[in-house]
Every structure is written in structure tokens, then in C-alpha cells.
Amino acid sequence: MLHTEKDLQCREIITKAVCGKGRKFSKATHTIVLDNKPSNILGSWAINHSFEAEKVGDMIEVVGTYDINLWYSYANNTKTTVATETVSYVEQVPLSFLDSNCTNNHLEVSAIATQAPTCIDAKIASNGNAVMVEVEREFLVEIVGETKVCVVICPGDCDDDKGFLLDDEDVDTDEAEDLDPSFIIDDLE
């Protein structure tokens, strides 16, 4: 049995959905003061990254820490050592969209480090006892919450014929000619 548009009914369903999303890439420069005057920088890396995220206003605030390990030579390149410094940061990630229909009760905020903190450059500072380390990082954030969606239902059970009829004025023949025939399903059974 085919259904006409007049037979169709709508229902509102409350469901969880992504209600907000954002992404932010950033660079930061950290100054590490060393016990010894460095001769050369032999390597730098960021490790032990940990963070949490929460919604603050219309943004997601990511608060975290990581350790910067700096391997350097000193005493005219006759000795080497590794200096470690823990860095704290607060990153405010703006949302590219935020669904205002999403209820504020029980929002779930998540953040993924799409690029974990990575040392991209380390230079000896002009005073000679410190090193400037440049780090880049990127976060993708999402807010999941309850929202309403409206769905069209057909009377009867799910085993009924799966089609419905539209009035002729509902079909635009110019749009129908632009359809890709590979996406048309001939038999719905």
C-alpha cells in the first residue's frame, strides 16, 4: 500500500547528537632556563601530554600539561645533559557551530589532540643561559547533548510497502532531470 502525503505524520524524537564542534591549531614559545650555558642544542621533544576540556561560555577550554625535554651540550661541546621542564597551558577553542536547540543539561565535552604538542624549533636565547623552544599543537573539540529531531512516519507497521506518493506539484521536473540515476533504488523490497 502506498501512502499519500496526507497520511504521513511527524514525531519529535529526543536523541543525543553533536551540538557543537571546533578546531584550533596554535604555536607557543617556551623559555627554558638551564643550569649550564649551552653550546649546542642536540634535540628537543614534548612528552607526557595530558589535558581536560570543559565548556566555558561559547568556547571549549582545554587545560593541560606536557614535559619539554631538551638535550644540549655545554662546556664547549665536551659534556651533554637533558633538561626537563613541565609546561602548563590553557587553550580556548572557539566553536565553528553551536546548536542552540541542544539542552544544556548533561552536555558531554570531548577534546582530541589531533596534533600532540611537538617541538618544532629550539634556539639558544641571546642571554646565553636559556633556550627558546617552539611547540605546536592542535585540538578538535565536540559537544554532545540532547536535542529534538523531527521524523516522518507512515501509518501501519514496518512491513507495509515502503513507498509513499507525492502530489504532482511537489516534484520539480527540472530537479528530477539532474538526479544521478546510479543513486535511484528501483525496488525497495
Domain limits of the chain? 3-12+150-183, 18-148
CA distance 141 to 93: 8
6 three-state secondary structure: helix
CA distance 102 to 110: 16
Inform me whether the pLDDT recorded for 116 exceeds 50: yes
Specify the pLDDT at position 130.
94
Specify the pLDDT at position 147.
84
182 three-state secondary structure: helix
Specify the pLDDT at position 176.
59
Q: What percent of the chain lies above the pLDDT cut of 90? A: 57
Mean pLDDT of 33-47: 95
Higher pLDDT pick, 24 / 162: 24
172 three-state secondary structure: coil
CA distance 46 to 55: 26
In the 8-state DSSP scheme, what is residue 184? -
Inform me whether the pLDDT recorded for 73 exceeds 70: yes
Inform me whether the pLDDT recorded for 100 exceeds 80: no
CA distance 72 to 42: 5
Specify the pLDDT at position 150.
85
